[in-house]
Chain A
Amino acid sequence: MENRVNNHEFEFYGEGLPEVDLRELRGRLIVIEGPDGVGRSTQVAMLKPWLESNGHAVLDTGMTRSTLAGKGIKQAKSGITLGPISLTLFYATDFADRLENEMIPALRAGFIVLTDRYIYSLIARAIVRGLDPSWIKACYGLALKPDAVFYLRGDVGDLIPRVLSSPTGFDYWESGMDIHLGEDLFDSFAEYQTRMLSVFDSMIDEYGFEVIDATQPIDAIYRNLQRRIGRLLRELY
């Protein structure tokens, strides 16, 4: 699927949302994707003030932060009480709430929406958990096609030191422990993240990801993103 570069009107991946007039959306939608621990949120935190200093209004947003479902998902994950299909749909609810109530209003107001993850992480998690790829992609037919998706690509070996430098260490969900891939958190993490990476890689062409080598130092990644986003905004405005 191609991203909308020179075409100024947004499109949905599928049938989209009822009662949204795409011609009203004047902002830009930029996605930073990539596996756990690859440094996405660090980059978003640096890009936002840079874009603002260049005169753009920016909404930064991320997964499971919706007013509607964010709390419920956190509870579900802390009690490990949802099966894979329910958890996938709960994420989709959270995504739809943020899309309709945060991202689309911001796009209507002419903001740059900079989102830490988008549907691709959610699709990858579902596929790794054995759900049907065509089903989950059809569910996310409600999503807008972004102007650009920057895929921060790391390898599993690089993710491990970053995960261990966080106070919580290996996380149950980021290690895929709910699907029993290994004897302990480390084994499971390695296997789960390997599978996640291969699903992300398989989406590069399908969704037109721009791949960024995330094994580089943070400021090299940042300059790379600045260059690409700068070019994108010049093309679009």
Chain B
Amino acid sequence: MRMYGDHEFPGKLFIVEGIDGSGKSTQLSLLQQWLKREGYMVFFSEWNSSPLVKETTSRGKKKQMLTPTTFSLLHATDLADRIERHIIPPLKAGAIVLADRYIYTAFARDTARGVSPHWVRELYKFAVKPTIAFYFRVPLDVSLKRILSARAGLKYYEAGMDIGLSDDIEESFELFQGMIRDKYEGMVDEFGLRVIDATRSIEEQQNEVRAIVERELTEVPKRPMPAMDFRDY
């Protein structure tokens, strides 16, 4: 069993982190488009996407039966499944794997919920260390404005309603996001997160991200993936 920092693969793993509304997903998808055009094999892995664990997670969320500890363990199970299935094999094959959220999301959220910081870091020791972990830093008021104007309803767990910060879901969300942001800030040095100033224009941020990624790709083989043309079928 290889632990964090011990894995060695020909492929590369780039991940994005940041609070909701930091614009990280937009940046990751632009990065993906560019890498494909450049002729790399690219594989995209989403947070909380393992089909089997997803069912349990959504049941637990719907019935509000998750504690901070089981919330943490279920997300760890999900990530382990994705790492065993969707991250390690493409990395072995020399692909570039992109992940929207990674272990640092768990560290930030779970410790904001009161889970022991040391325990949750031990729990995720199985994870592959990313080549670069980007952290999109944004002031809280900016991200809240983006999130709260863009969507209809906040969900119970994402607003941190389970830890009883406030009876008002919007206020709870704001407080919880602030706690998560503090946890991210505390991890910048601990894990060497690459900070991107997410208040700048999308283009400026993307140029910086591409420049950083490009420096890591000197030995990664280019093997264009066949474009699927459904008219042939």
The contact of A69 among B1, B74, B76, B80, by CB within 8 Å, is B74
The contact of A15 among B55, B68, B116, by CB within 8 Å, is B116
Which single residue of chain A is at the shortest CB-CB distance from B114?
A18
A14–B84 CA distance with the chains assembled, in angstroms = 27
A141–B119 CA distance with the chains assembled, in angstroms = 8
Question: What per-residue 1/0 map shows which CB atoms of A117-156 lie under 8 Å from chain B?
Answer: 0000000000000111001001101100000000000000
Question: What per-residue 1/0 map shows which CB atoms of B188-200 lie under 8 Å from chain A?
Answer: 0000000000000
Question: What per-residue 1/0 map shows which CB atoms of A92-111 lie under 8 Å from chain B?
Answer: 11001100110000000000
**Contact across chains for B56 and A71 when beta carbons are under 8 A apart:** yes
**Contact across chains for B119 and A14 when beta carbons are under 8 A apart:** yes
Min CB gap B86→A, angstroms: 11
A130–B83 CA distance with the chains assembled, in angstroms = 17
Query: Residue A186 at the B interface, CB < 8 A?
Result: no
| With contact pairs A86-B80, A93-B74, A135-B126 given, residues A142 and B53 touching in the complex (Cβ less than 8 Å) | no
Which single residue of chain A is at the shortest CB-CB distance from B68?
A18
**Contact across chains for A86 and B3 when beta carbons are under 8 A apart:** no
**Contact across chains for A100 and B53 when beta carbons are under 8 A apart:** no
Query: Residue B178 at the A interface, CB < 8 A?
Result: no
**Contact across chains for B119 and A142 when beta carbons are under 8 A apart:** yes
Contacts of A16 in B (CB 8 A): 116
Which single residue of chain B is at the shortest CB-CB distance from A136?
B1
Query: Residue B187 at the A interface, CB < 8 A?
Result: no
Interface size on B, residues (CB 8 A): 34
Query: Residue A68 at the B interface, CB < 8 A?
Result: yes
The contact of B53 among A72, A92, A138, by CB within 8 Å, is A72
Contacts of A101 in B (CB 8 A): 65, 67
| With contact pairs A101-B65, A132-B1, A139-B122 given, residues A81 and B52 touching in the complex (Cβ less than 8 Å) | yes
Which single residue of chain B is at the shortest CB-CB distance from A70?
B56
**Contact across chains for A132 and B3 when beta carbons are under 8 A apart:** yes
Interface size on A, residues (CB 8 A): 37
A76–B59 CA distance with the chains assembled, in angstroms = 16
Contacts of B116 in A (CB 8 A): 15-16, 18
A97–B114 CA distance with the chains assembled, in angstroms = 16
**Contact across chains for A100 and B76 when beta carbons are under 8 A apart:** no
A89–B126 CA distance with the chains assembled, in angstroms = 11
Query: Residue B81 at the A interface, CB < 8 A?
Result: yes
**Contact across chains for B65 and A68 when beta carbons are under 8 A apart:** yes
Query: Residue B118 at the A interface, CB < 8 A?
Result: yes
**Contact across chains for B73 and A96 when beta carbons are under 8 A apart:** yes
Which single residue of chain A is at the shortest CB-CB distance from B111?
A18
The contact of B69 among A18, A131, A132, by CB within 8 Å, is A18
**Contact across chains for B1 and A93 when beta carbons are under 8 A apart:** no
**Contact across chains for A90 and B68 when beta carbons are under 8 A apart:** no
Q: Which of chain B's residues 88-136 have a Cβ closer than 8 Å to chain A?
A: 113-116, 118-119, 122-123, 125-126
Query: Residue A83 at the B interface, CB < 8 A?
Result: yes
A17–B71 CA distance with the chains assembled, in angstroms = 12
Q: Which of chain B's residues 24-73 have a Cβ closer than 8 Å to chain A?
A: 50, 52-53, 55-56, 59-60, 65-70, 73
Query: Residue A5 at the B interface, CB < 8 A?
Result: no
Query: Residue A19 at the B interface, CB < 8 A?
Result: yes
The 9 closest A-B pairs by CB, nearest first: A83-B84, A72-B56, A18-B114, A138-B122, A86-B81, A89-B77, A93-B73, A86-B80, A15-B116
Further 20 A-B residue pairs, CB within 8 A, beyond A15-B118, A83-B84: A16-B116, A18-B113, A18-B115, A18-B116, A69-B70, A75-B52, A79-B52, A84-B84, A85-B80, A85-B84, A89-B76, A92-B77, A96-B67, A96-B73, A100-B69, A132-B3, A135-B125, A138-B125, A139-B122, A139-B123
